[in-house]
Amino acid sequence: MNQEQENIKLKSEIKLVKEIGEQIGYGHLMSLASALWKKSLKDKGYPEVGAFVTTLLPFIEKEMAEATESERKMYDDIIERLS
């Protein structure tokens, strides 16, 4: 998939998430997504740890805070660029 195709796909995904988030609430969407992710991991026999991603930096262990912040910024940039 080239960059243009990737951007088209991301725009479509952003639109879907925005529509659902606006309809049911973003917090509820994230909670449901985390629960579904955890169930999917369990059903496949994988560890369930990490299936719920906290958004509050004070609750993230220090060694992961920088990586978490970097990933958050990456997604913020994608949203800004493509939505």
Dump the DSSP string for 15-80.
HHHHHHHHHH-HHHHHHHHHHHHHHHHHHTT---TT-S----GGGS-HHHHHHHHHHHHHHHHHHH
pTM of the model: 0.71
Name which of 4-13, 14-23, 49-58, 63-72 the model is least confident about: 49-58
Cβ atoms within 10 Å, residue 5? 9
Is residue 69 a contact partner of residue 57, using CB atoms and an 8 Å limit? yes
Q: Which residue range is the domain that position 73 belongs to?
A: 3-82
What is the rounded average pLDDT for all residues in the chain? 85
What's the total number of domains in the chain? 1
pLDDT at residue 53 in the model: 66
Residue, of 15 and 78, whose pLDDT is higher: 15
Looking at the chain, the whole-number percentage of residues with pLDDT higher than 90 is: 37
